[in-house]
Amino acid sequence: MTVDEAQAMFADFNRYGGDVYLVDPPPNDDPFFLDLADSFEVVRVAPHAGDSGGADFWVLWRAAGYENQSQVHLLKIVETWKGDDGALFLREENGRVTKIARTQNPAKWRQWTAYKKQHAEQYSQAEADTRAQAVQDANTWR
C-alpha cells in the first residue's frame, strides 16, 4: 500500500465531510459521535514484512474548527474495512475502532468550509504546522 492508495480511502470524506465516531468495542450499536472532521491526511505508510501486501499507516485527522493540537488527532491504523453504508472503519494498534461516515449535517460542513476559506492564510499555516508535527510523530512512533 502506498500513501496515495491509503489517502484514496478518505477522498469522499475530505470532499463532502465526514463524521467521526468511536465504536469500541465492536460491534457497537450506538457509536459515540466525536466530531465533524475537517480533513484526513495519511502521513506515513509502513508495509508489513514479507509478501503479504499489508501495511500499517498513520492518518492525521483534524476536527472542523481546529486551531490547536487538542483538535488534531494522529492514529496508527492496522486494519480497515468498509461498512454496508459506505462508512470506513479504522482499527488502531490498541484495538480501538473509529468509524468515519458521510456527515449527517452537510449545512454545518458547508458553513465550516466557507469559514475556513475566508481564513485561508490562518488555516494554511495551522495545516502545515500540524502536518509537520504528525510526520515527526509518525516517524518516531513506538
Q: pLDDT tens digits, residue range 90-133?
A: 999 998 999 999 999 999 999 999 999 999 998 888 889 999 99
E strand or H helix at 89: strand 88-92
| pLDDT at res. 68 | 59
Q: How far is CA 128 from CA 15, 41, 60, 133, in A?
A: 19, 12, 12, 9
List, for residues 81-101, the tens digit of each pLDDT value.
999 989 999 999 998 999 999
**How confident is the prediction for the chain on average, in pLDDT?**
89
- Averaged pLDDT for residues 60-72: 81
Domain boundaries, the chain: 3-139
Which amino acid would we find at residue 78?
Answer: V
Residue range 3-139 forms a domain whose CATH class is mainly beta
Are the beta carbons of 66 and 131 closer than 8 angstroms? no
pTM here is: 0.88
The three cell numbers locating residue 82: 468498509
